[in-house]
């Protein structure tokens, strides 16, 4: 907090944990009408549905109305690489300027068009709208609004599958698969998990029977499924099978993580060759011949030097 030369008070802060960015407010007291005010987004977190076709970020002028003020804005990627929405596939990178005339304290809206994803379901994706380049003497409040494009599958949920480990040994006995009901949990739902042969053979190397998993209304916990791995005595290379989700019910959908692969690392080792029964052909027979030849050479040398 600091005091300005005209008697105003500036208060700044932020919440790093919420990633909302810094905020600045100017306290003007009873003389607020003579101040240019503070410009900032109304909400630091905004949710939008793809089917609505747009995301709306509201910007307001508070703490004063004197003079004309303006501020630039741009919609851009977060750049984290994790769940980032990308332009133009998910949204349009709009940029422009918002302007308030003298005495105007109305709320202004930034409209960001959203692109439909077609038939491919998507999970939560985010981008941000950033305020910058203020003019007219106004202060700047919260500058960044993080926009989340809600995942498909509302309200029943979206299924995904992953393996707890991408590799498993034959002696481990089973591979553990994790099936999740994500984002929403309204109503009872089910999905079918089917192990599918790749280089591994269903029935011989792993159990290939389909399994139906169910969740009740309000349940959103992941389910852990064990697929039996057969430990045979056949010497073989590493082999792979795939697990696939299908046939969702109750209005739920299958998301982009619909399959996962598991590699069975064979632990079979060929038996060592039996020792040779032939004295002359094996390593022991050859060593014996060398020793006999060496002892004969010693006897001959001793006979030559004997007086």
> HEC profile for the chain?
CEECCCCCEEEEEECCCCCCCEEEEEECHHHHHHCCCEEEECCCEEEECHHHCEEEEEEEEECCCCCCEEEEEEEEECCCCCCECCCCCCECCCEEEEEECCCCCCCEEEEEEECCCCCCCCCCEEEEEEEEEEECCCEECCCEEEEEECCCCCCCCEEEEEECCCEEEHHHCEEEEEEEEECCCCCCEEEEEEEEECCCCECCCECCCCEEEEECCCCCCCEEEEEEECCCCCCCCCEEEEEEEEEEECCCEECCCCEEEEEEECCCCCCCCCCCCCCCCCHHHHHHHHHHHHHHHHHHHHHHHCC
Higher pLDDT pick, 284 / 22: 22
Q: State the chain's mean pLDDT as an integer.
A: 84
Higher pLDDT, 248 or 79: 248
pLDDT average, residue stretch 256-276: 77
Give the pLDDT band (50/70/90) at residue 27. Answer: low
Asked whether residue 14 carries a pLDDT value surpassing 50, the answer given is yes
Prediction pTM value: 0.70
Fold of 2-149: Immunoglobulin-like (2.60.40)
Instruction: With cut-offs at 50, 70 and 90, classify the pLDDT of residue 82.
Output: confident
What does the pLDDT look like over 93-124, one tens digit per residue? 999 999 999 999 999 999 999 998 777 899 99
Q: What top-level class would CATH report for the domain 158-265?
A: mainly beta
The larger pLDDT score, comparing residue 43 to residue 307, is at 43
Q: What is the pLDDT of residues 283-294, one digit of tens each?
A: 444 344 334 444
| Per-residue confidence (pLDDT) for residue 233, from 0 to 100 | 75
Give me the pLDDT at residue 235, please. Answer: 76
Give start-end residues of each CATH 2.60.40.2030 domain in the chain.
Answer: 2-149, 158-265
pLDDT over 50 at 298, yes or no: no
């Amino acid at each position: 907090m600091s005091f300005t030369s005209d008697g105003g008070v500036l208060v700044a802060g932020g919440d790093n944990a919420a990633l909302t960015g810094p905020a600045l407010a100017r306290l003007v007291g009873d003389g607020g009408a003579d101040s240019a005010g503070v410009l900032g987004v109304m909400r630091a977190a905004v949710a939008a549905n793809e089917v609505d076709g747009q995301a709306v970020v509201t910007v307001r002028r508070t703490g004063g109305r004197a003079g004309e003020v303006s501020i630039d804005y741009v919609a851009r990627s977060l750049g984290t690489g994790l769940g980032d929405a990308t332009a133009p596939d998910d949204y349009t990178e709009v940029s422009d300027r918002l302007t308030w005339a003298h005495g105007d304290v109305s709320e202004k809206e930034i409209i960001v068009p959203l692109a439909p994803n077609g038939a491919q379901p998507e999970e939560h994706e985010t981008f941000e709208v950033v305020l910058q380049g203020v003019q007219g003497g106004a202060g700047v409040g919260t500058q960044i609004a993080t926009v989340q494009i809600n995942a498909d599958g509302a309200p029943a949920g979206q299924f995904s599958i992953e393996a707890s480990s991408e590799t498993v040994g034959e002696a481990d006995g089973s591979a553990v698969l994790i099936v999740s009901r994500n984002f929403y949990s309204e109503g009872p739902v089910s999905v079918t998990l089917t192990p599918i042969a790749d280089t591994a053979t269903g029935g011989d190397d792993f159990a290939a029977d389909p399994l139906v998993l169910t969740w009740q209304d309000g349940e959103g916990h992941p389910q852990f499924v064990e697929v039996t791995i057969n430990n045979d005595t056949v010497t073989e290379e590493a082999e792979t099978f795939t697990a696939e989700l299908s046939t969702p019910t109750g209005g739920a959908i299958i998301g982009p993580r619909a399959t996962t692969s598991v590699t069975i690392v064979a632990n079979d080792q060929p038996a060592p060759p039996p020792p040779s029964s032939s004295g002359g052909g094996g390593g022991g027979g050859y060593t014996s011949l060398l020793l006999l030849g060496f002892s004969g050479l010693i006897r001959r040398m001793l006979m030559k030097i004997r007086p």
